[in-house]
């Protein structure tokens, strides 16, 4: 098999963007390194049926930058990167493709660690690991990071609820979970156990069947999310769901979910705040998965993971207090906190 790794022009402020191709293995991938200021870049590999390379580049660069911020806020000693494989994970993915992807990661010489993301499982990553030392999130090591992501989102949601509603008691609170993948379903289970009035939506009928049968959840159509009355909105599918239109229609007081890049544009944070909606920055609250992966990179145990989950909930509490006291958006506070971390390390 012949793998080619080609450098593309990286956006301003990014360190590297490469295209990896192996026609025989069916691999078309992009790997983006945003920053290694705080350590080697780390971020998952996503497989998605993008409309073309331009769309994939837009996604991978946004995700890589988000990983820099996420890893910094979680205190992981890692920089930010991301990778995407262009294709339908349910139809196109093969062990040979994942091995070719592993060779592409290895070609970067340790500047980027990869792990699971949308469309990629620990079993898939095990195939990649046959070709690279820098594939993590493996069964028998840190394993599937999804439960840790869900736990982190849940803890941050409780912190946000205490701030917005005056109590973290979710009994009777109407919470809508959008997207029932591994993370969304785990979060839905935690919310149901906490007594939330659970509403779910997903494009897959089997996921909805499980949520209704096992969790007693109500179902709404994917296109009707922003017409629903709710207390908490938990977006757990793909990003960009909060647009000018959806922000104007959203009927919630708190947004806390696992999806990356939930805001279509940064300015929407101000629009939400003006409507009295508290938004918890996604790159802060969904850091549980990369915390789990980082424990494997650094050789740490579950106690280390739990301490960092406590840390991200603590940072959410801090930014909520500061945002209220200073009359600013939570996103501005969070970005400012990360900026100080990166500047301090660069100066050092």
The most distant pair of C-alpha atoms in the chain lies apart, rounded to whole Å, by: 59
DSSP state string for 241-273:
-B-HHHHHH---SEE--S-SS-BSSTTHHHHHH
CB distance 183 to 258 below 8 Å: yes
Radius of gyration of the chain (CA): 19
CB distance 297 to 193 below 8 Å: no
Distance CA 153, CA 149 (A): 6
Distance CA 341, CA 1 (A): 42
Distance CA 124, CA 134 (A): 14
Cα angle 299, 300, 301; round to 5 = 130
Residue 3 is encoded by which pair of tokens? 């793998």
Distance CA 190, CA 312 (A): 18
Q: What is the DSSP letter of 250?
A: -
Distance CA 219, CA 103 (A): 42
Write down how long the chain is.
348
Around Cβ 220, how many Cβ atoms within 10 Å?
17
CB distance 145 to 125 below 8 Å: no
Q: Catalytic residue at 93? A: no
Out of 70, 82, 93, 190, the active site residue is: 82
Distance CA 97, CA 74 (A): 32
Which positions are catalytic? 82
């Amino acid at each position: 098999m012949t793998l080619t790794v080609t450098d593309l022009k990286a956006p301003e402020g990014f360190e590297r963007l490469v295209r990896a191709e192996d026609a025989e293995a069916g691999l078309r991938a992009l790997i983006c390194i945003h920053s290694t200021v705080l350590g080697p870049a780390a971020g998952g590999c996503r497989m998605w049926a993008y409309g073309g390379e331009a769309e994939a580049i837009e996604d991978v660069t946004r995700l890589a930058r988000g990983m820099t911020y996420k890893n910094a806020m979680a205190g992981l000693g890692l920089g930010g990167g991301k990778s995407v494989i262009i294709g339908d994970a349910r139809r196109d993915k093969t062990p040979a493709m994942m091995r070719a992807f592993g060779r592409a990661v290895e070609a970067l010489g340790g500047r980027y660690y990869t792990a699971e993301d949308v469309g990629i499982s620990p079993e898939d990553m095990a195939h990649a690991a046959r070709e690279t030392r820098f594939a993590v999130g493996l069964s028998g090591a840190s394993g599937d990071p999804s439960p840790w992501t869900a736990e982190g989102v849940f803890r941050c949601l409780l912190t946000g609820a205490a701030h917005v509603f005056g109590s973290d008691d979710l009994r009777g609170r109407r919470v809508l979970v959008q997207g029932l993948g591994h993370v969304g379903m785990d979060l839905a289970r935690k919310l149901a156990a906490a007594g939330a009035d659970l509403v779910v939506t997903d494009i897959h009928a089997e996921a909805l069947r499980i949520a209704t049968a096992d969790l007693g959840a109500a179902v709404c159509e994917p296109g009707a999310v922003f017409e629903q009355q709710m207390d908490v909105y938990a977006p757990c599918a793909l990003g960009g769901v909060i647009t000018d239109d959806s922000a104007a229609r959203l009927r919630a007081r708190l947004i806390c979910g696992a999806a990356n890049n939930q805001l279509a544009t940064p300015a929407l944070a101000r629009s939400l705040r003006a409507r009295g909606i508290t938004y918890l920055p996604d790159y802060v609250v969904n850091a549980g998965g990369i915390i789990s992966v980082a424990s494997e990179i650094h050789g740490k145990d579950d106690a280390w993971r739990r301490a960092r989950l406590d840390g991200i909930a603590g940072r959410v509490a801090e930014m909520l207090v500061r945002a209220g006291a200073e009359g600013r958006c939570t996103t501005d506070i969070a970005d400012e906190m990360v900026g100080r971390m990166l500047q301090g390390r660069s100066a050092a």
